[in-house]
């Protein structure tokens, strides 16, 4: 075998061995179920609440802004909640024919329309979701409070039924 052929053959062996080693390393680094982000879905049916009753699950019921308001920014905007600047996704899926007010940790975050959806982010850690469908001629319907651990990188779906 000529010297050039031996060099080409040796180079081919090295490249093949490197590719095989690289493929083996990639196989070992695949995410496992234990470290993959978790997606939790909770289905909940509405409960009745007496009209006009004081609700201890609501800290702030205003959808208007106040110049004196103090609200912590989300982790991605320099807020600090949980272990580090990591986010958790929240998705509220309204499967009822009612307009529903949604509260995150007791503060009003928005109204989800009939059979609509609302989504956002929060920091990681213990989180409380609560929802109210207010009525003027019947008892209010409520969901929760539902407290869960919103881990970094996870997403959480809360399905509200009738």
- Residues 43 and 82: their CA atoms lie apart, in Å, by 25
User: In the structure, what pLDDT confidence band is assigned to residue 44 with cuts at 50, 70 and 90?
Assistant: confident
DSSP state of 75: G
Residue 149: which CATH number? 2.60.40
pLDDT digits (tens, 9 = 90+) for 122-150: 888 888 999 999 998 889 999 999 998 88
Same domain, 47 and 15: no
Same domain, 16 and 45: no
Same domain, 26 and 86: no
pLDDT at 6 over 90: no
Residue among 119, 128, 118 nearest 150 (CA): 128
Burial class (CB in 10 A: 0-12, 13-18, 19+), 57: middle
b or e along 21-48 (b: 16 or more beta carbons within 10 Å of the residue's beta carbon)? eeeeeeeeeeeeeeeeeeeeeeebebee
Q: How many domains does the chain have?
A: 2
pLDDT digits (tens, 9 = 90+) for 90-100: 999 999 999 99
Share of residues in the chain with pLDDT > 70 (%): 60
Same domain, 84 and 8: no
38 versus 123: the higher-pLDDT residue is 123
Same domain, 14 and 86: no
Same domain, 96 and 145: yes
Same domain, 15 and 59: no
Same domain, 19 and 43: no
Q: Looking at the chain, list the stretches that DSSP marks H as alpha helix, in order from N- to C-terminal side.
A: 3-28
Q: Would you call the peptide bond into 145 cis, given omega within 30 degrees of 0 as the criterion?
A: yes
Share of residues in the chain with pLDDT > 90 (%): 31
Domain of 95, in residue numbers? 37-64+73-161
Question: Looking at residue 57, what is its pLDDT?
Answer: 79
Same domain, 15 and 48: no
């Amino acid at each position: 075998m000529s010297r050039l052929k031996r060099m080409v053959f040796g180079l081919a062996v090295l490249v093949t061995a490197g590719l095989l080693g690289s493929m083996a390393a990639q196989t070992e680094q695949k995410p496992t179920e234990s470290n993959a982000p978790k997606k939790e879905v909770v289905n909940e049916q509405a409960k009745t609440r007496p009209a006009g009753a004081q609700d201890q699950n609501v800290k702030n019921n205003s959808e208007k802004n106040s110049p004196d308001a103090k609200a912590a920014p989300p982790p991605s905007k320099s807020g600090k909640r949980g272990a580090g600047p990591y986010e958790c996704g929240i998705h509220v899926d309204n499967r009822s024919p009612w307009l529903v007010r949604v509260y995150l940790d007791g503060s009003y975050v928005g109204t989800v329309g009939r059979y609509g959806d609302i989504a956002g982010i929060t920091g990681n850690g213990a989180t409380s979701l609560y929802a109210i469908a207010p009525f003027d001629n019947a008892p209010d319907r409520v969901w929760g409070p539902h407290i869960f651990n919103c881990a970094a990188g996870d997403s959480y779906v809360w399905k509200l039924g009738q």
